[in-house]
Amino acid sequence: MSIKDIFLKNNLNNIGGKENIVLLILFLFSFFLSLFIFLIISGFFNYDTKLVNVSLLLILNSILVFLIIVFISYKVRNLLLFRKEGRSGSYLQIQLSLFFAIITFIPSIFVTIFSLLFFDQGIKTWFTEKVNTAISGSKFISESYFKEHSNNLKNDILFLSKEINNE
């Protein structure tokens, strides 16, 4: 019995198999880790969060998502092998997989489009004329403050220089 036969034998009739349990565990862990990262970034927890800790959590979550993609790719590959061999039920599984992929793809496209629109509108409200006026005013004030203090320091240095030279 070849390795290919073992994979094909174990996958088609094994709907609730160990691979699906591992995939479910990876998905749930990634989901709750994403929720935890969101709560940390949004300031829900009161303790001091360091950027390194959040970065490590994001890297861990990226690894989990990559593993999920690998598992799903493995299952799709096996499904296509089943179809190529003409196994019974493979055509139905492909049709159901395509149906669910389309059903999940359409709402994600809508969510992406609407989030981009809302983000764009949010950025535009940040940079209205009032905000630009306030920013340019605060920039002018900070530049004036800097010039005044640099002139004061220059005058103090000149005064100290004259005092040292007079002694």
**Is residue 88 helix, strand or coil?**
coil
Does residue 103 carry a pLDDT above 90?
yes
Q: List own/partner pairs for 43-50 with CB under 8 A and 24 or more apart.
A: none
Helix axes 51-85, 90-126, angle to 10 degrees: 150
| Cβ neighbours of 152 (radius 10 Å) | 10
What is the pTM for the complete model shown?
0.52
Residue 1 has what pLDDT? 54
Confidence band, pLDDT 50/70/90 cuts, at residue 166: confident
Amino acid at residue number 151? N
> What DSSP letter does each residue of 55-116 carry, written as one string?
HHHHHHHHHHHHHHHHHHHHHHHHHHHHHHHT-TTHHHHHHHHHHHHHHHHHHHHHHHHHHH
Does residue 117 carry a pLDDT above 80?
yes
pLDDT digits (tens, 9 = 90+) for 13-65: 554 577 788 889 999 999 999 999 888 887 777 766 666 678 888 999 999 99
